[in-house]
Amino acid sequence: MKHNKAEGLFTKPLMEIMNKVNGLLNGLLTFIGGIFLVAMIILTCVNILFRIVWVPVPGTYELMGLFGAIVTAFALGQTQARKGHVAVDILINTFSAKTRKVLKLAGDLICMAFFVIVTWQLVVKGNILWKTGELTETLKIIYHPYIYAVAFGCAVLTLVCFGDLLKALFPGKDGGR
């Protein structure tokens, strides 16, 4: 497929900016998610030790759930960027290159649309929890910052899917298909 020079001038800087933003955001979220994962490991070990010698750490179940949500949501974008999600391509590889490209575009568009809706609904839910002042049962931790953090992780995944969509639409030397 031929592309005119104006299209190349527009898409190359856009793709470079998109790749830098995606890289920075995913790197930051992976780092923060790693901190929460280490906290989960430490909390698990402390809880096991305390169960043996005394009583379990109160609220461990709540903290593991909240921290697990952060770890999972913050890993979504990086996993998508590295193509680490499970993909079943046995059937897809039997199609022509043009059909595969159309399917890839459709998949990227559907994924992007789905996570835009997920992000939006999480923000709506976070706003409700913020207005109502909802707290966790045992430790009385406010919920809404965790909901917003998960929404942000989903928004970053949406951004990665948008970058994949642009790469599929405008293939070039920068790794596009």
Domain coverage including residue 94: 5-169
Q: Is the pLDDT of residue 171 over 90?
A: no
- Number of domains making up the chain: 1
Domain assignment present for residue 176? The answer is: no
What is the spatial distance between Cα 16 and Cα 22, in angstroms, rounded to a whole number?
A: 10
Sign of the C-alpha dihedral computed for residues 27, 32, 33 and 39 taken in this order:
positive
Domain assignment present for residue 50? The answer is: yes
pLDDT at 28: 95
Q: Which two tokens stand for residue 31?
A: 């780092």
What is the spatial distance between Cα 136 and Cα 129, in angstroms, rounded to a whole number?
A: 11
What is the spatial distance between Cα 100 and Cα 132, in angstroms, rounded to a whole number?
A: 47
Range of weakest confidence among 3-17, 95-109, 129-143, 161-175: 3-17
Coil, strand or helix at 97: helix
pLDDT at 175: 46
**All residues at 6 or more sequence positions from 43 whose CB lies less than 8 Å from its CB, including other chains:** 57, 60, 63, 64, 67
| pLDDT tens by residue, 5-26 | 545 555 677 788 888 999 999 9
Domain assignment present for residue 60? The answer is: yes
Crossing angle between the packed helical segments 144-169 and 5-53, to the nearest 10 degrees: 150
Classify each residue of 142-159 as buried b or exposed e, where b means 16 or more C-beta atoms within 10 Å of its C-beta: ebbebbbbbbbbbbbbbb
pTM comes to 0.83
| pLDDT tens by residue, 72-91 | 999 999 999 888 777 767 77
Domain assignment present for residue 175? The answer is: no
Domain assignment present for residue 44? The answer is: yes
